[in-house]
Structures are given as structure tokens and as C-alpha cells.
Amino acid sequence: MSDSIRQLQPLGVWRFFDDICQIPRSSKKEEKIKAYLLDFGTKYNLETLEDEVGNILIRKNATKGYEHYPWLVMQSHMDMVCEKNSDVEHNFDTDPISTRIEDGWVKAVGTTLGADDGIGVATQLAILAANDIDHGPIECLFTVDEESGLSGAFGLKSSFLKSELLLNLDSEDEGELFIGCAGGIDTNVAFDLEWEDVSDHRSWYRIDVNGLRGGHSGDDIQKGYGNANKVINRILYKGAEKFDLRLALFDGGNLRNAIAREAFAEFCLPKGNVGDFEKMISQMTKDIKVELNVTEPNLNIELRELKNGRKVFRLDLQNRLLNALYACPHGVIAWSQDIPNFVETSTNLAAVKTLNNQILITTSQRSSSETAKCDVMNMVASVFKLAGAKINHSDGYPGWKPNPKSKIMEVSSLSYEKLFKKKPKVLAVHAGLECGLIGKTYPKMDMVSYGPTIKGAHSPDERIEIKTVQMFWDLTLDILKTVK
């Protein structure tokens, strides 16, 4: 356990957060955190339910004098994104998250921290465990599998909740209240692998691209961060065009909702082309570092020779793959015409994997416009259809349409202004939130989303600002006390 973070304020939140950090809870593997939540409900003698898909709901009666308040549900997700640096040994199925404090932030050691959304879970538990907090009747909903498929929110039944007011504790910028979010869909691609032999008169190499920031494909897509899949494909494309490079392996990125931080490839080329190829790599490295010098100061491109060769992709397949990846859009597609400096539509080239005799490519599209979401989905799909790949789409999830007359938003805004002597920003977020799906099942649900400041979510650079956790706590307690 991390004694240092257990001494932070507010004590209850940080101690529960530290408990949660000891529990493996990757998406679709939430058995241990579910057991912890069920045991918690039993320990505190609270009504505790589990639904068909594994969501946990814990209810607590109103404190004395607040019985006339309306039912209110606080909601967070119990799973976390599991990303680590390539040089870090960590098994997310068994190992706890190791935390440290640095310059006013809590961070993990070479892995994602899980503050997204462990801090929301910890806050709910601290409220449920306390006997000195004023509130009406409350429900705490802990959903499963938010990060990889939203299956918990998808599976939520209309009879599970009593509340018509909801606090979503899954946003990442203190001082901002969110009343809308983007919808999303994944476009998944498969090329059937076709192999062929090459002559012995070739030199074999591995190229690595790493040191990139990565980040959340919703919150960070507009920041101009590099995409490792795009960077490495750019090099491979030019090598194939000029030096008869033949590709044998392509592996980049991991998660659908994270910008690719690392990628590597293995390939060969004629021995007579080695010198000129290495000069090209050196020049391209300099050029790309200049292009990304502000957003990606730690970009690293490394070329090293391999001893053993293997079969390579058939030339036609290689050409179709490299051309399609080059043409595949990544980043902001359109900015909102209604909200200044707000991304309306984007797409993320998330992962490229050579696996089980296929090349599997994962992309994700987001938009606050349902029609624009479908348009960018078709844009991405058309690139790979032209390259002869197989395409399938996820079910997708709806956006959350802002309600400027929201009661819970008004209460939250007034509480924030009273506590901190300034007005919060009321916004929509380009990231997906479970509110869209919850609102579809509960059309009368009045919702607001907020949280402390979390940076670098979905990457090993994830960190949470300590002072904003206290603000997040104070705001939540004041909302519970004032909503009527």
C-alpha cells in the first residue's frame, strides 16, 4: 500500500483510492473489484445489487432532515485502461498499481494510474462509508467495461435505478461542468495475411517508434500529438518506394480509445541499399522531430539490425496495407460550428497488429453529430475497402444532447460558484461518456458530469492533481446538500 497517498486530503477518498489501486480491474476482468464492492455493501449494511451484466448498485437512505430530497444517483465505472511503457514489467491481471507523489500530482510508476475512473469510485465509497455527510436518498452506480465496450451502460435496465438526477463522476478538468458528449463507433479492419520468401541477399532490421505522449483519443485528439502508427508507416512507405523494403511484421498501438504511443516493425531490404536506407532514416528522423518538436519532445526513432530473417508479406498485400494506412485519416475532422474551439468530429488510428495470419487494424470515430459520426465512419471504411480489406463496425453508442435548462447543472453551477467564488465553465466534451447510453434508457434522467483534473488519461503519463480532488469532494458534498 502507498502510505504517502493515504495521508492526503480528503482522507476517505484517498484511502479508498489506494485500496482500489491494489485491485486488478482491467476491462472485462472486473471480478475482483466487483467482489470488493459487494463486500463493502455488506460491511456497511447497505442495500447492494448486481444486475445481469455485472453493474453494482449500492443505496443509502437519507440523513435525518433530508428525507424529502429526491433520489440522486452518483455514477462511475470500475474498470481502467491498462497501458504501460514497454520497458516496464507489470501484469495488470495480478499486480497492484504503484503510486507516487510528485509536484502536487499523484502518478503511477510506468503504467496508467486508473484515476480514470478510480477517483470517482473512491469518492462514492467515501460518501457511502461516512456518517457525517448530509444528503438525501442516494444510489451509487458502478458500471463495468466502460473503457473497452460500454457494455455496462449498454446493459443497464430501466428498472434498476430509482433516481432521476445523476452525477457522473468521470470528467477530467476541474472547473468544468459537462452537459453533453460525443457519440462514437469503431471501425475494425482485417487483411488476410499472404506470405512469400525472399532471397538471402538481404539485411534484416527492426524499427521502433516510441517516446510519444499517447493520450485519450477524445480529450487529447486536438492537441497535435504524434501517432506512432502514422509515423512508422510513413517511414516504411518511403523505404518500400525507394529501397525495395519488404515488410514482415507491423505492431503499433493497443487500445481503441488511446492515441498510439509506440510501434515497431520488422523488414528486410537488399544489402546494396542498406547505406542509402540508413541515410534516409537519419534524415526522416530529423524531419519528423522538427515537425513534432513542440508536442512530442521525447519522440525516439531507433533502427537496429536483426540476425534472423523470415517470410515477408506478399508484395501486393504490403502495398495495399501501407497505402491504406497512409491514406487513413487520423485526428480532428471537423470543429463545432456552435461551440468555439470544440471538436465536433474526429477519428483515431488506434492499433495495427500482425496476429493469427491477419493484420488487424482498430480505428475509432467520435462526433457530437450522429450524421457526421456515420460520415467519418464511412470515410475510414472506404479507404480500407479500396485496399481489399474486410470491414466491420461496432454497435456504437449515442451522444448526450446538452440540456441548457438542466436542474442538476444549475445546482452544480451555483454550488461551484458559492464554494470557489468563480463561475464554472459549462461545456460539452468530445470524449464519450456513459451519460449518452444512460439517457437513452432513462430519458427523464437529468445529468451533469464533472471531476478533478486528470492529465494523460489512457497513457502511462496519467496523473491526478491533488488539490483538485479536495475541490471535487467539496463540490460533490455541497451538491448533495443543496439539491432539492
As annotated, the active-site residues are: 79, 146
Residue type, 6: R
Beta bridge partner(s), residue 183? 367
CA distance 351 to 337: 30
User: Which residues touch 283 (CB under 8 Å, ≥6 apart)?
Assistant: none
For residue 6, the tally of other CB atoms under 10 A from its CB is 15
Can you give the length of the chain in residues?
Answer: 484
Phi then psi dihedrals of residue 8, to 5 deg = -75, 160
The residues, any chain, with a CB within 8 Å of residue 155's CB and separated by 6 or more, are: 51, 52, 53, 55
Distance in angstroms between the alpha carbons of the first and the last residue of the chain: 39
Q: Distance (Å, rounded) from C-alpha 7 to C-alpha 181? A: 35
Q: Which residue has the cell 498499481?
A: 97
Cβ 177 vs Cβ 409: under 8 Å: yes
Contact call for residues 438 and 75 (beta carbons, < 8 A): yes
